[in-house]
């Protein structure tokens, strides 16, 4: 367990200046997610047009890991087809939760979040945005 694994520069930067940290007036989907034990709470906004995720943004309050993960998620999912976005989200949640899963080599910046695999108490912080994205778009992929 190493502190640098979890508080990487890249995450601290996303926490300080998160991307797409705003509400979205023309969102087609949105959902609220929270971690009742710790107080992280975010709202995820999604705009889907012709089955393409045109835009993702978020608002709310949370710890550095929660905020950085939300910011990275908005970067990752923008522009994907809805089914690819859902697939990517589900796989990433699994990857964070299960240390035995081999790390794919196309993660890019998301790799910085893998440190939470050694900090199980922080897993919920890292996955909140992703779960909330699935919740927001649940009607489309159920």
List residues near other proteins by CB under 8 A.
Answer: 1-3, 6-7, 12, 16, 37-41, 61-66, 119, 121-122, 125
Q: How far is the CB of 94 from other proteins (least distance, A)?
A: 23
Closer to other proteins at the Cβ: 29 or 122? Answer: 122
Q: How far is the CB of 84 from other proteins (least distance, A)?
A: 31
Residue 68 to residues 36, 50, 110: CA-CA distances in angstroms? 19, 29, 10
Q: Is 59 left (phi over 0), alpha (psi -120 to 50) or beta?
A: beta
Closer to other proteins at the Cβ: 39 or 108? Answer: 39
Q: For residues 19 and 75, is the Cβ–Cβ distance under 8 A?
A: yes
Assign 46 to helix, strand or coil: strand
Q: How far is the CB of 17 from other proteins (least distance, A)?
A: 10
Closer to other proteins at the Cβ: 7 or 28? Answer: 7
Q: For residues 117 and 58, is the Cβ–Cβ distance under 8 A?
A: no
């Amino acid at each position: 367990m190493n502190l640098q694994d979890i508080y990487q520069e890249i995450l601290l930067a996303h926490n300080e200046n998160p991307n797409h940290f705003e509400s979205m007036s023309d969102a087609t989907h949105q959902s609220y997610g929270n971690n009742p034990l710790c107080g992280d709470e975010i709202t995820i906004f999604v705009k889907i047009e012709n089955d393409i995720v045109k835009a993702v943004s978020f608002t709310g309050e949370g710890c550095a890991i929660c905020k950085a993960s939300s910011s990275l998620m908005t970067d990752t999912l923008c522009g994907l087809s809805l089914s690819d976005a859902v697939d990517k989200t589900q796989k990433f949640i699994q990857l964070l939760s299960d240390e035995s899963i081999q790390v794919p080599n196309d993660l890019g910046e998301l790799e910085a979040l893998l440190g939470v695999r050694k900090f199980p108490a922080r897993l919920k912080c890292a996955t909140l945005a992703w779960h909330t994205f699935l919740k927001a778009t649940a009607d489309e992929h159920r």
